[in-house]
Each structure stands twice: as C-alpha cells, then as structure tokens.
Chains A and B, each alone.
Chain A
Amino acid sequence: MLKINNLSAKIDNKSILQDFKLEINPGEVHAIMGPNGSGKSTLSNILSGKKGYDVTGEVLFENNDLFSLETEERAHKGIFLAFQYPLEIPGVNTNVFLKTSLNAIKKARGEKELDAIQFLKLVKEKAKELKFDEEKLGRQLNVGFSGGEKKKNEILQMSILNPKLSILDETDSGLDIDALKTVAEGVNALRKKNNSFLIITHYQRLLEYIKPDFVHVLMNGKIIKSGGPELALELEKKGYENIN
C-alpha cells in the first residue's frame, strides 16, 4: 500500500530524514518510535504534503507517486493525518467542516455526496461511539477545545472519512488514560483487512491498547532497528540510548 524508498528530507539545508525506507501492506499496523528531533513529525508532514521541505527519494501509495499529488489529492486517495497539534479555525463550525471535507473526498472518488440528514446521522453515530460530546460539533473547529478534545476530534474525523492509511502523529501526547482508551477503541474499530495505520509516538503507552504488527525505531532520520511489538517494550526498558 505504502512504499517509501530512500527518502531524504532537508529543511533550510538541515538534513532531517536520510535514506528512509518503509513498506506498509494492507491491514498492517506499523509504529514508529523515536526521541524528540528524530524526524517523526517531518515524516508525517511529508506524507501529507506539507510544503517547505527539500525532498528526494520515492514514495508510492497504491502505486501512485505521492509527490506528484497535492495535499488534498492525497486525502482523496485515502491518506489521513491525525495532527499532533490540530489547528483552530475560528468561525468555522465543526460539523460544517466535517461535511465539506467528507463530501469533497466523496466527490473526488465519484461517490454520492451525503445530504445534511444523512451526514448528521453518520456523525451522531460516530460521536457516540467515541464518546465525543455532540454539543461540541456545533462549535467552532477546535476553538476552545481542550487538548484531549482536539485529539478525539481528530479520531472522529478519521472514523468519518474512513481512510485507507491513517497516520497518527503523537496522538497519545496530552491524553489522560480514559481518553487514550477511547482513542485506541476508535482506531481498533477501524482496523480491517484493508486499512493500514502508521502510528508515530514517543512512548510505548498507546501501543498497549493498539497492538502494532511492526515497530521501528527512528533515530537521527534513519530507522535503526525494526521488530515486532516486543521491541516497544524493550525500548521502554532500555531507553533510546541503549537500544543498539
């Protein structure tokens, strides 16, 4: 589904990722763990199409060259990024945003767009599943939301947009244990044969609730070690310094 070959990235001539390689097949859950500054967020930014990076190498998503696609075209193809810091957009109603977004994606895929009633039904259902306060959906997007609510809102958007590849960028940071469980439930509910996940995190905590198939350790812009779920536990014990 996703193939990353020899990806290198620079910003302001500073090298962040070097010869990064990764392959994710349908249905797999990969976790990338790494200390601060290892290049985790750069990876999610580049995959989602954020501008400002000098990039070389190749990224294929379902055999499409990702770099030839605009950010929104990647979203249309089924890439979703749960942001580490979800943006506030004053004046824009959360429901309106979600509906516009969902229908933009449906339209691009040639599917039928949802009308207001169908949409509301869907959003209510999903909000309930994620224990997301429905009243908040009527409010301005992320404005006045707590850190946890913002993160939950990302997962709600994910479950509504139903992407093929979800990238979770430090979604666990700033969540208390209950919110963490809810988020994990949301992810697990979406975990199917064809849906893949790339979970970017600093700590092993989230991985207790979402069992990854593969764990990779990212240091200084390179994957230095890959393994199964046990690697996460090993990391937790030894720390990043002593992993080699």
Chain B
Amino acid sequence: MRDKQIEDLKDYKYGFSTDIESFKAPKGLNEDVIKFISNIKKEPRWLLDWRLKAFERLKVLKEPDWQKPKYPKIDYQDLYYYSAPKSFKDKPKSLDELDPKLLETYQKLGIPLNEQKRLNGIAVDAVFDSVSVATTFKETLTKQGIIFCSISEAVQKHPELVKKYLGTVIPLTDHFFATLNSAVFTDGSFVYIPPGVRCPMELSTYFRINASDTGQFERTLIIADKGSYVSYLEGCTAPMRDENQLHAANVELIALDDAEIKYSTVQNWYPGDKDGKGGIYNFVTKRGLCKGKNSKISWTQVETGSAITWKYPSCILKGDNSIGEFYSIAITNNHQKADTGTKMIHLGKNTKSKIISKGISAGFSDMTYRGLVDISPKATNSNNFTQCDSLLMGNKCGAHTVPYIKNKNSDSNIAHEATTSKISEEQLHYCQQRGLNPEEAVGLIVNGFCKEVLQQLPMEFAVEAQKLVGISLEGSVG
C-alpha cells in the first residue's frame, strides 16, 4: 500500500505535454534565425544589432568545462530557437482570445490565468516555450506606475528603459551560455518599479517548456528604482521527454539607491527518469547589481528539478552599504547533477553579504556548492557570512563544497562554515516511534534542515516548496 503511494508521488506530476500546434523558426543557429526572431518580435534595429554582436562574439567563445557535471555535447544546429503556439501569430489582445488549451495547461499546473480564479495577491506572467502568453493584474499595477509585462512588450512600449539597462549586469561577452542567450533570447519578464513604490503584490513568472527539440532562452530584467521594493517569484516545469532539453536563461536585477529586490525561484524542471534519461539542462545566468547606496538584493532558490543544474545567482555590491543575500536549497536524486552557488562581489564600503546553502543528495546524484566571496581593497568595513551544509543519503551519491574566498581588505571580515552529515538512524527511529513512516520522517527532518531557507520564501511558495522537498526525496530511503 505504501509502495503504491510512493510510486504515485514519485511521478513528476507536471510531466504532461500539451498538444498544441506551434509555430517555429527553422532549426539551427545562424544569423538568419536571429533575424527571424528579431523580425517576428518587430524589434528595433539597435536590438537586432545587439543580438548580432553577441552572435559574433559567440563564435569565438568556448563552452565552459570547469564545472563538475559534464554533459554530452550539444548540437546547437539541431535545436529550435523559437517556438510559439500557432494561435499566437496574431497576438491575442485579451485572455478571452487565448487558446483554451493554453488556459487549460496553466490550470493543470496550478496557475489559473482566468480572472475569477487568479491567485490572490500574485500577479503572473506566463511564458510558454518562447513567448509570454498572459500577464495578470496588469491594471492594478499600472495604477502605481509599475511596469510588469513580457520583455518583448517592454521593447515596444518602454524601449528607453530596456536600452538603458539590458546587458548592464550581464555583459554581451560574459560567457558562452549568457552570450548565446543574448543572441537568441525570445521572451521573459520585464519589471520596473518607480521611485518610492512598494509593489503591493508578489510578481511571478511561470515558465513552461512544451515543444520538443526546443531550447528555452528567456531573459528577465528587473529594475527597482530609488527607494522601491519588489518581491518576484519564478516557477518552472516541463513535460517528460526522453531527450535532454536546454534552458539557458539570463536574469538581470538592478537595485538603485535604497531599493530592494527579493527574487525567489522554485525550479522544478523535468529531472529525467530514474535511470537518468531525459530531463532539462538548466544552465542559467542570474546576476544582481546593487547599484545604489543602501540597496539590497536577496536571492532565494529551491532547486529540485532538471537533469543538470548549473547556476550561480550573484550579487555585485557596488553601492555603499548595500546588502546581498543568497538562500539556497538544492536537492538531487536519482541521476541528477547540480553545481550551484553564488558569487558575492564586494566593491562598495560597508557592504554585507550572507550565504545560506543547504544541499541534499540522494540516489546516484551529485551535488556541488561552488561559491565566491570577493572583498575588494576598496570595500572597507564589509563582511560576509557563509554557511554551507550538506546532507547525504546513501553512498552512491556525492556532496561537494568548493568555496573561493578572497579577502583583500583588512577592515573586512569573512567567515565561512561548512558541514557534511547524514540523517541519523536515531532521529529516524524517534520519528517513526511517534507514528511517522520513513518517508514522512525523512521529509520532516529534511524540511527542518532547510528551514532557514524555506523561511525566506513568500507564504504561498513556502508551502509548495515544503511539499516539493518531501516529494523530491521519495524513494531515496533505503
């Protein structure tokens, strides 16, 4: 009986695919495809030039190979770089015109887009393959001057803002996947919070890869102007497919004086089956710039999905007194691999950063925390605190900690702590004696282990994330 329940839970419940006709760019990576994407989005010349410049640069860049998880060679010419529901060729003006199949898909994913069923207090931008299909609560936000739309729309309606900030945190030339994204990015979210405004609701983007052989290259740009505040959430799922799919997103955050951005991710891309077949390659570049004084950027991530996760949400603490935070839970099971962590670059005076990382590996999986704390000579009176804890379940998996610590300032302090352990037999026995089955007991203990990070998530997400933490480890208790 219990086995049956576990079996049910183990299934990736977002694994369905939607049978919807899509409109795609021809396969392959070349100038024509880039022009095709730019053209279909009716982009201004400067943006096309920018893309082409990235493409030129891409030709001389090599894929990085220093990360721990290795992956088979990707044939970049055998991928679709643009895929949109066919009904989207003429963009629907309102939700009523949206393909019912799409609405149904999001309903199934627990993200209702319909007016009456919307999630309370969360505005959602839904991205399906390469395009944004709907954004909710737009009017409410507009009243306060908040811009929340797809990046394609922002290019049309707010070109000055996009032009001013795009690529300022992740430069065109950054590294292979970031540059690839700059050349072919399709859609993503754009957020601008005007000075002094506290965004009244959580902003959220829900990413869905549906089409096969399709890479998803979304681009998100969030600007918090002086004295503003925004909390942004991101969720991801994909259908179960035998082949690996590439997801190479770029996310840029900019916080001006006294502004604060809280960015939360619950990443649950399809992880592949229990033998490691299929799953998403999640190669993401996320970087935040604390540009102004007293600004703050806080990353929180719960990474449970993807065959390979490879991301380092970072903070460049440029403004004096700025603060960077990184809270992470990463769970790998079966044959999943993750190499994730953060970079905290202290440039301004009195800058503070905090890193709390909880890694859990089970099955045959492999997990690496990789992080950099760099305090530059000018960043006087700065400090960092890092805590990295790993939990191993079984001896077929690996847990690694690779922190790089650079202190070039004598008035600054860096403290780093790391531990590796397992769930003790005694703790399990204690929980079982109180009536919990082993799966529940592990879920409870692991959630306790992750608590410091879960607390950082907005309410609505925290509950989901807690369940996800439990489910991700199902079947890992021997």
- Give residues in A with beta carbon < 8 Å to B: 48-52, 70-72, 74-76, 80-81, 83, 86-87, 89-92, 97, 100-102, 104-105, 108, 140-141, 157, 161
Docked-complex contact B432 and A72, CB < 8 angstroms: yes
- Give residues in B with beta carbon < 8 Å to A: 424-427, 429-438, 440-441, 444-445, 447-452
Nearest chain A residue, comparing its CB with the CB of B445: A89
With contacts A87-B430, A89-B427 taken as known, whether A72 is within 8 angstroms of B447 at the C-beta atoms is no
A residues less than 8 Å from B450 (CB atoms): 91
Shortest Cβ distance from residue A51 to the other chain B in the assembled complex, whole angstroms = 7
Apart from the given pairs A71-B432, A72-B436, 6 other A-B contacts in the complex at a CB distance below 8 Å: A49-B432, A83-B433, A89-B430, A100-B440, A101-B436, A104-B437
Nearest chain B residue, comparing its CB with the CB of A45: B429
Name, among B433, B445, B450, the residue most crowded by chain A CB atoms within 10 Å (CB to CB).
Answer: B433
A residues less than 8 Å from B445 (CB atoms): 89, 92
Docked-complex contact B433 and A49, CB < 8 angstroms: yes
Docked-complex contact A81 and B435, CB < 8 angstroms: no
Docked-complex contact A72 and B437, CB < 8 angstroms: yes
Q: In the docked arrangement, what's the CA distance between A83 and B432, Å? A: 12
Shortest Cβ distance from residue B162 to the other chain A in the assembled complex, whole angstroms = 42
Shortest Cβ distance from residue A155 to the other chain B in the assembled complex, whole angstroms = 14
Docked-complex contact A89 and B435, CB < 8 angstroms: no
Which of A70, A91, A101, A140 has a CB less than 8 Å from the CB of B434?
Answer: A101
A residues less than 8 Å from B424 (CB atoms): 87
A residues less than 8 Å from B444 (CB atoms): 89, 92, 97, 100
Name, among B436, B438, B447, the residue most crowded by chain A CB atoms within 10 Å (CB to CB).
Answer: B436
Q: In the docked arrangement, what's the CA distance between A140 and B445, Å? A: 11
Docked-complex contact B433 and A91, CB < 8 angstroms: no
Shortest Cβ distance from residue B199 to the other chain A in the assembled complex, whole angstroms = 30
B residues less than 8 Å from A101 (CB atoms): 431, 434-436
A residues less than 8 Å from B433 (CB atoms): 48-49, 71-72, 74-75, 80-81, 83
Docked-complex contact B435 and A91, CB < 8 angstroms: no
Docked-complex contact A91 and B447, CB < 8 angstroms: yes
Docked-complex contact B434 and A161, CB < 8 angstroms: yes
Nearest chain B residue, comparing its CB with the CB of A50: B429
- Between A and B, 10 residue pairs with Cβ closer than 8 Å are A51-B425, A71-B429, A71-B432, A72-B436, A75-B435, A89-B444, A97-B444, A102-B435, A104-B440, A108-B435
A residues less than 8 Å from B430 (CB atoms): 83, 86-87, 89
B residues less than 8 Å from A81 (CB atoms): 433
Docked-complex contact B427 and A87, CB < 8 angstroms: yes
With contacts A87-B430, A89-B430 taken as known, whether A140 is within 8 angstroms of B448 at the C-beta atoms is yes
Q: In the docked arrangement, what's the CA distance between A87 and B435, Å? A: 15
Top-8 shortest CB links A-B: A91-B448, A91-B451, A92-B448, A71-B432, A101-B434, A75-B435, A105-B435, A87-B430
Shortest Cβ distance from residue A194 to the other chain B in the assembled complex, whole angstroms = 19
Docked-complex contact B429 and A104, CB < 8 angstroms: no
Docked-complex contact A70 and B435, CB < 8 angstroms: no
B residues less than 8 Å from A74 (CB atoms): 433
Which of B426, B435, B448, B452 has a CB less than 8 Å from the CB of A104?
Answer: B435
A residues less than 8 Å from B440 (CB atoms): 100, 104
B residues less than 8 Å from A52 (CB atoms): 425
With contacts A91-B452, A92-B444 taken as known, whether A97 is within 8 angstroms of B434 at the C-beta atoms is yes
B residues less than 8 Å from A161 (CB atoms): 434-435
A residues less than 8 Å from B438 (CB atoms): 70, 72
Docked-complex contact A76 and B435, CB < 8 angstroms: yes
Q: In the docked arrangement, what's the CA distance between A49 and B444, Å? A: 20
Nearest chain A residue, comparing its CB with the CB of B424: A87
Docked-complex contact B426 and A87, CB < 8 angstroms: yes
Shortest Cβ distance from residue A109 to the other chain B in the assembled complex, whole angstroms = 10
Shortest Cβ distance from residue A100 to the other chain B in the assembled complex, whole angstroms = 6
Shortest Cβ distance from residue A119 to the other chain B in the assembled complex, whole angstroms = 14
Q: In the docked arrangement, what's the CA distance between A91 and B358, Å? A: 12
Nearest chain B residue, comparing its CB with the CB of A81: B433
Shortest Cβ distance from residue A189 to the other chain B in the assembled complex, whole angstroms = 20
Q: In the docked arrangement, what's the CA distance between A49 and B428, Å? A: 11
B residues less than 8 Å from A140 (CB atoms): 448
Shortest Cβ distance from residue B432 to the other chain A in the assembled complex, whole angstroms = 4
Nearest chain A residue, comparing its CB with the CB of B444: A92
Docked-complex contact B434 and A157, CB < 8 angstroms: yes
Shortest Cβ distance from residue B317 to the other chain A in the assembled complex, whole angstroms = 29
B residues less than 8 Å from A89 (CB atoms): 427, 430-431, 444-445, 448
Name, among A52, A71, A101, A108, the residue most crowded by chain B CB atoms within 10 Å (CB to CB).
Answer: A71
Docked-complex contact B447 and A70, CB < 8 angstroms: no
With contacts A50-B429, A51-B425 taken as known, whether A100 is within 8 angstroms of B452 at the C-beta atoms is no
Docked-complex contact A100 and B436, CB < 8 angstroms: yes
Shortest Cβ distance from residue A7 to the other chain B in the assembled complex, whole angstroms = 19
Shortest Cβ distance from residue A224 to the other chain B in the assembled complex, whole angstroms = 29
Shortest Cβ distance from residue A142 to the other chain B in the assembled complex, whole angstroms = 9
B residues less than 8 Å from A86 (CB atoms): 430
Shortest Cβ distance from residue A219 to the other chain B in the assembled complex, whole angstroms = 26
Shortest Cβ distance from residue B150 to the other chain A in the assembled complex, whole angstroms = 38
B residues less than 8 Å from A75 (CB atoms): 432-435
Q: In the docked arrangement, what's the CA distance between A41 and B438, Å? A: 22
B residues less than 8 Å from A71 (CB atoms): 429, 432-433
Nearest chain A residue, comparing its CB with the CB of B434: A101
B residues less than 8 Å from A100 (CB atoms): 436, 440, 444
Nearest chain A residue, comparing its CB with the CB of B454: A91
Shortest Cβ distance from residue A98 to the other chain B in the assembled complex, whole angstroms = 8
Nearest chain B residue, comparing its CB with the CB of A140: B448
Q: In the docked arrangement, what's the CA distance between A108 and B451, Å? A: 28
Nearest chain B residue, comparing its CB with the CB of A82: B433
With contacts A92-B444, A100-B444 taken as known, whether A70 is within 8 angstroms of B429 at the C-beta atoms is no
Shortest Cβ distance from residue A75 to the other chain B in the assembled complex, whole angstroms = 4
Q: In the docked arrangement, what's the CA distance between A57 and B191, Å? A: 69
Shortest Cβ distance from residue B405 to the other chain A in the assembled complex, whole angstroms = 25
Name, among B429, B430, B438, the residue most crowded by chain A CB atoms within 10 Å (CB to CB).
Answer: B430
Q: In the docked arrangement, what's the CA distance between A76 and B434, Å? A: 8
B residues less than 8 Å from A105 (CB atoms): 434-435
Docked-complex contact A48 and B434, CB < 8 angstroms: no
Docked-complex contact A91 and B449, CB < 8 angstroms: yes
B residues less than 8 Å from A76 (CB atoms): 435
Q: In the docked arrangement, what's the CA distance between A90 and B451, Å? A: 9
Q: In the docked arrangement, what's the CA distance between A83 and B427, Å? A: 11
B residues less than 8 Å from A50 (CB atoms): 429
B residues less than 8 Å from A102 (CB atoms): 435
Q: In the docked arrangement, what's the CA distance between A92 and B449, Å? A: 8
Shortest Cβ distance from residue A149 to the other chain B in the assembled complex, whole angstroms = 16
